Amino acid sequence: MSDHDTEAAGPISEAPGSDRRVGDRHLACFPAHVDIGAGSKRSAVIRDLSVSGALLLTRARVKVGDEIKLSLYLSGDPTQGHEVKGRVVRDERRSIEVSDIWPYAVAIQFDQPFREIEPDVRALAERQASLGLTK
């Protein structure tokens, strides 16, 4: 990962100083689908995840305030997706140096805390960190 691709480690917020995350943020990369409505599903990669939200990289063009549904594939098995609904709270065009595949970074706040995924996400983040896959 280049220095241009470094994401902020702080909380995702709507206004300066407003911390929207309920749980610990885990840096772990895994596949997801973004359903932006009308049956339109797009691929995405989750960059980090907590029980209250996610930062994802995607080709899907969304706007702040859009309601979406995510299918999270924590195990890598495409038949074992975790479904969660949320709202876009941030949408950024990534720099040209790092955006050839995933041009947008999108922050999602879940409608309800998704606590049942915490053990799986923590284990995945630890496994990826031990392999040197995340920093």
DSSP string, 82-104: EEEEEEEEEEEEPPTTT-SS--E
- Residue 125 belongs to a domain: yes
Determine contact, residues 66/88, Cβ cutoff 8 Å: yes
Write the pLDDT tens digit of every residue in 68-109.
999 988 776 778 888 999 999 999 999 988 878 899 999 999
The CATH number of residue 92's host domain is 2.40.10.220
- Residue 2 belongs to a domain: no
Write the pLDDT tens digit of every residue in 28-64.
677 888 998 877 788 899 888 888 899 999 998 899 9
Three-state SS at 135: coil
- Residue range(s) defining the domain that contains residue 110: 24-130
Q: Is the pTM of this model over 0.85?
A: no
- Residue 9 belongs to a domain: no
- Would you report the helix, strand and coil content of the chain in percent, each value rounded to 5? 15, 35, 50
Greater confidence (128 vs 51) lies with 51
Number of folded domains that form the chain: 1
